[in-house]
Amino acid sequence: MARAISEPSGELLWSLTKVNFGYNGTPVVCDVSLELRRGCCYGILGPNGSGKTTLLDLMGGLLMPHSGMIEFMGRPLHVWPRKQLARQLALVPQDFMVRFGYSVREVVEMGLHPHLHRFAAPSETDQVLVDEALEATGIAALANRPVTRLSGGEKQRVAVARALAQKPAVLLLDEATSNLDIHHSLEILHLIRGRFERQGMQVVAVMHDLNLASFFCDRLIFLKQGQVVCQGPTEEVLTPENIEAVYGVEAEVRSNAFTNSRQVSFRLPLNR
């Protein structure tokens, strides 16, 4: 049963009403109803296979619900023209695949496409945007390298740079730091949080690491077997009871002055 706690009051970005989706007849997202509003960084969490990526893809318009309704900025998602949607929404996927040997710079430039007229070349201002995205994600030195010759972590940073070059109103991140070491993870999360706080870019992030999510997200949505188990402000939702209900592990949650967020320690239940 979904439990909503102190709803935020910003403009409604997404409204999901009784959304269902499955693959080959197996339900994966089950009766999900959610409202996501401007002014919060949202985190979507849950065990492997709980439907996080599928839910994010539904919110990004990459998949269509089998039943139910998704509205984005007041309009049904399926009626948004693709290019118009791409001006509002950028998605950083979990597995960023570019098969051809485009250079890093060329891939980041692809983020400009939703804003360019057909066949128009990027302007000088656009090139500055690309330079900034390369610098901000720490990959400027790789600009001329073929993306096929990058490590997993470097590719993830290219995917973030391309999304930032897209100048989206909303950024969807699917475990965007899963291949990054802790230094690069924190750098990317600080960068994105900075865009949220200073430029109003809204963020919805599927996250794996509860401690990084606690430090990065204002609100959390916990999924289990395709259903929303609980959602609300991070400090209210990140409790030992919810973590045990969702992940089946015992948890201790403490306020941590060092990170200025709640931090969680885990262990398998002793009575297993």
* Member of 28, 163, 173, 210 binding ligand ADP (CB under 6 A): 28
In the complex, least distance from residue 227 CB atom to ligand ADP, rounded to whole angstroms:
12
Q: CA-to-CA distance for 215 and 224, rounded, in angstroms?
A: 22
Residues 168-207 that bind ligand ADP (CB under 6 A): none
Q: Dihedral angle at the C-alpha atoms of 130, 135, 140, 146, nearest 10 degrees?
A: -50
**Based on CB atoms, which residue is closest to ligand ADP, 62 or 120?**
62
Residue 31 φ/ψ region, left for φ over 0, alpha for ψ in the -120 to 50 degree band, beta for the rest: left
**Based on CB atoms, which residue is closest to ligand ADP, 23 or 119?**
23
- Of 10-18, 41-49, 59-67, 126-134, which segment contacts ligand ADP by CB under 6 A? 41-49
In the complex, least distance from residue 92 CB atom to ligand ADP, rounded to whole angstroms:
14
Burial (CB < 10 A; 0-12, 13-18, 19+), residue 104, is buried
Other CB atoms within 10 A of residue 186 CB:
16
In the complex, least distance from residue 58 CB atom to ligand ADP, rounded to whole angstroms:
10
In the complex, least distance from residue 87 CB atom to ligand ADP, rounded to whole angstroms:
26
> Closest by alpha carbon to 103, among 162, 176, 185, 166?
162
In the complex, least distance from residue 54 CB atom to ligand ADP, rounded to whole angstroms:
3
- Of 46-54, 109-117, 143-151, 252-260, which segment contacts ligand ADP by CB under 6 A? 46-54
Q: Does residue 100 interact with ligand ADP by CB under 6 A?
A: no
Q: Does residue 46 interact with ligand ADP by CB under 6 A?
A: yes
* Member of 6, 9, 23, 74 binding ligand ADP (CB under 6 A): 23
- Of 52-60, 130-138, 187-195, 256-264, which segment contacts ligand ADP by CB under 6 A? 52-60
Q: CA-to-CA distance for 95 and 106, rounded, in angstroms?
A: 18
| CB neighbour list of residue 44: distance below 8 Å, 6 or more residues apart | 52, 55, 56, 204, 205, 206, 207, 220, 221, 223
> Closest by alpha carbon to 57, among 89, 84, 13?
89
- How many residues in the shown chain lie near ligand ADP by CB under 6 A? 11
User: Do residues 165 and 129 touch, judged by C-beta distance below 8 A?
Assistant: yes
DSSP string for residues in 144-180: TSBGGGS-HHHHHHHHHHHHHHT--SEEEEESTTTTS
In the complex, least distance from residue 16 CB atom to ligand ADP, rounded to whole angstroms:
15
Q: Does residue 54 interact with ligand ADP by CB under 6 A?
A: yes
- Of 22-30, 35-43, 101-109, 208-216, which segment contacts ligand ADP by CB under 6 A? 22-30
In the complex, least distance from residue 29 CB atom to ligand ADP, rounded to whole angstroms:
8
> Closest by alpha carbon to 136, among 118, 161, 155, 156?
161
Binding site for ligand ADP (CB under 6 A): 23-24, 28, 46, 48-54
